[in-house]
């Protein structure tokens, strides 16, 4: 009777240190791609969502259409979204980033707009009485007071992007999703588990990092709690 192999890779175990040792470069490349997809999509989404939310706040009639369009985008299944974007971007990382940007808009626009709407009107009136113009009012009063709600949306959008980036594996640009999908196809247990755990670690780390950033840039909220 043949004895079982000593190598956990040969035994195809879920937890295998040998996998980490022998595939370290592959894992680092996948993590790097996953982080690039996530960070780029969230930053572009934020750059689009901020002016949309400001316009929706300035012109009340625009809020309904903006929220409706971004909500509809979020309801489109990821496979369908990538298929719709395929004629424009082809099989590229830009395709995945574009899809993630569109998904992030719902969370970012809605939360930024909620933060802007929560700014007390008397605060705006006081700033205008002190000679603040529209731009200065927005940059020094409204946006700082909207930061807690905006950061909450940014945290959710970032964690969502970490998760949705794995779907990019269908076009070969899914970061850790590439390892998860190929591991599932070959039933490579250690690869599936390791890549999945790393996705969770990235999501938790990103959320904690943004939470710490929010704590640093909103000292008045700490004063209120104190």
- Average pLDDT, whole number, for the chain? 88
User: Which token pair is 101?
Assistant: 């940007």
Residue bearing the bigger pLDDT, 9 or 153:
153
Average pLDDT over residues 77-99: 90
Average pLDDT over residues 146-163: 92
Judge contact between 123 and 140, C-beta under 8 A. Answer: no
Average pLDDT over residues 64-72: 90
Structural domain contains residue 159: yes
pLDDT at 107 over 60: yes
Q: For residue 3, what pLDDT is reported?
A: 42
In angstroms, the CA 92 to CA 34 distance is 14
Considering 38-52, 116-130, 206-220, the range whose residues carry the highest mean pLDDT is 38-52
Average pLDDT over residues 93-114: 93
Structural domain contains residue 5: no
In angstroms, the CA 111 to CA 68 distance is 14
Burial classification of residue 13, based on how many CB atoms lie within 10 Å of its CB (0-12 exposed, 13-18 middle, 19 or more buried): middle
User: Which token pair is 88?
Assistant: 């424009």
Domain membership of residue 58 as a residue range: 17-225
Q: For residue 33, what pLDDT is reported?
A: 95
Structural domain contains residue 111: yes
The number of distinct structural domains making up the chain is: 1
Structural domain contains residue 11: no
Looking at the whole model, is its pTM more than 0.85? yes
163-209 tens-digit pLDDT: 999 998 988 888 999 999 998 888 888 899 999 999 999 999 999 99
Residue bearing the bigger pLDDT, 223 or 65:
65
In angstroms, the CA 128 to CA 111 distance is 25
Structural domain contains residue 7: no
Structural domain contains residue 2: no
Instruction: Give the residue among 146, 142, 148, 111 at the shortest CA–CA distance from 125.
Output: 142
User: Which token pair is 167?
Assistant: 């779907």
28-48 tens-digit pLDDT: 999 999 999 999 999 999 999
Structural domain contains residue 22: yes
CATH code at position 46? 1.10.3720.10
pLDDT at 27 over 80: yes
Q: For residue 98, what pLDDT is reported?
A: 94
Structural domain contains residue 69: yes
């Amino acid at each position: 009777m043949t004895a079982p192999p000593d190598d956990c890779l040969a035994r195809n175990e879920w937890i295998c240190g040998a996998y980490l040792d022998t595939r370290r470069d592959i894992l680092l490349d996948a993590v790097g791609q996953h982080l690039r997809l996530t960070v780029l999509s969230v930053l572009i989404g934020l750059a689009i969502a901020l002016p949309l939310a400001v316009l929706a706040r300035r012109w009340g009639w625009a809020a309904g259409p903006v929220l409706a369009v971004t909500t509809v985008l979020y309801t489109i299944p990821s496979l369908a979204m990538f298929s719709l974007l395929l004629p424009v971007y082809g099989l590229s990382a830009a395709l995945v980033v574009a899809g993630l940007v569109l998904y992030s808009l719902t969370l970012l626009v809605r939360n930024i707009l909620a933060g802007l709407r929560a700014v007390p009107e008397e605060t705006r009136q006081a700033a205008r009485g002190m000679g603040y113009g529209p731009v200065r009012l927005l940059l020094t009063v409204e946006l700082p007071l909207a930061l807690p709600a905006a950061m909450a949306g940014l945290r959710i959008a970032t964690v969502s992007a970490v998760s949705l980036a794995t779907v990019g594996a269908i076009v070969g640009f899914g970061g850790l999703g590439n390892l998860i999908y190929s591991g599932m196809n070959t039933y490579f247990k250690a690869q599936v588990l390791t890549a999945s755990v790393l996705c969770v670690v990235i999501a938790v780390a990103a959320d904690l990092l943004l939470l710490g950033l929010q704590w640093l840039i909103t000292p008045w909220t700490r004063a209120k709690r104190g």
